[in-house]
Structure 1
Amino acid sequence: MQNFVIITAALLGGIAIILGAFGAHAFKKILSAEKIESFEVGVRYQMYTALTLLALGFNLSFEYQSERVAFYLFTLGTILFSGSIYFLSFAEYWRKNLKFLGPITPLGGLLMIAGWVAIIIRFL
């Protein structure tokens, strides 16, 4: 499980770097400043999760259920949170109505918060 967590962290981190670079350069040509700002929030939180998972991967054994639950909550929460922000940032450019993704963003945030709660529970 440790290797899987570290690999997931590396994937999320690498993708965050790639998306951040595109956001800083290529996407600035096609997205408004407001959309770029939102996109960067998604990248930032994705990187926060990657670093968190990296720390967890190197420091936890994942023998406790709360440790495994934290991993899944952080990962799913980040996919929902950052992923929905990425798609919403491009909705106008793609001329697509993706407003249905709006409620997905806070759900992802709640899952990430729940991941932190799972870590607290582990150490209580």
Structure 2
Amino acid sequence: MQLTELKSYLYGKLAATEELPFGPEYLVYKVCNKMFALIAWQETPLRINLKADPAQVDLQRAMFASIRPGYHMNKRHWNTVTLDGELTDAQLQGLIDDSYRLVVAKLTKKEREALVSHPQAHHK
């Protein structure tokens, strides 16, 4: 997956925002001000940090050489995925979906209710 498609997929998540809180080298994607993805967009190949279920991180890392412990992140909860072609677009999208769902699950009830009433929710 190329940067344009990756950004489009991430930004297509309900109420997703794109920010640069760590400088221009990292694109950060958030939902309700909580990060669910970080792209090292100037790297070749691209790298993306994604939240992961701690019960699955060891298996994911064992199955794919391109999935490593989260770079500069809590390694129990984050993976760094190198987009070197090992993962299919569908597999990468699944990891992104999991990351987004894990973050949304930790939102407050009020924040989740705001997502349901978000204008973008009615266009999906």
TM-score, length-normalised on structure 1? 0.29
Query: Which structure has the larger Rg?
Result: 1
More strand by share: 2
